[in-house]
């Protein structure tokens, strides 16, 4: 799995086009861009303050806390490295 940060001056479209899934801090536009591009996408709330049925997310799933994040990462089908 590759996780990386991007310079804030970079357009989000290019790197998101190359991703299979996108997790963004709520309520950033990157999740909406990913959804527009047909990618699997979620908001992440590390604080546990948000609710899964929060109307402000407009139907985008929310991962709340470290346990849910780890379960989500474990559920991804990740390509195995060659060799």
49: left (phi over 0), alpha (psi -120 to 50) or beta: alpha
Q: pLDDT by residue (tens digit) across 11-37?
A: 889 889 988 888 888 778 888 899 999
Residue 20 in any domain: the answer is yes
Residue 39 in any domain: the answer is yes
What is the per-residue pLDDT for 83? 45
Helix (H, G, I), strand (E, B) or coil at 17: helix
- The range of the structural domain enclosing residue 37 comes to 13-75
Q: Is the pLDDT of residue 39 over 70?
A: yes
Phi, psi of 2 (to 5 degrees): -120, 120
What is the per-residue pLDDT for 78? 61
What is the per-residue pLDDT for 24? 87
Residue 80 in any domain: the answer is no
Q: pLDDT by residue (tens digit) across 41-67?
A: 889 999 988 888 888 888 888 999 999
Q: Please state whether the predicted TM-score (pTM) of the whole model is above 0.75.
A: no
Side by side, the strands of the sheet bearing 40-45 are 21-25, 40-45, 62-64
Total domains, the chain: 1
């Amino acid at each position: 799995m590759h996780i990386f940060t991007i310079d804030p001056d970079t357009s989000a479209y290019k790197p998101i086009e190359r991703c299979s899934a996108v997790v963004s801090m709520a309520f950033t536009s990157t999740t909406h861009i990913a959804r527009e591009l047909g990618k699997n996408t979620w908001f992440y709330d590390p604080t546990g303050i948000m609710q899964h049925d929060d109307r402000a997310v407009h139907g985008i799933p929310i991962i709340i806390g470290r346990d849910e994040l780890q379960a989500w990462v474990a559920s991804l089908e990740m390509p195995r490295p060659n060799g």
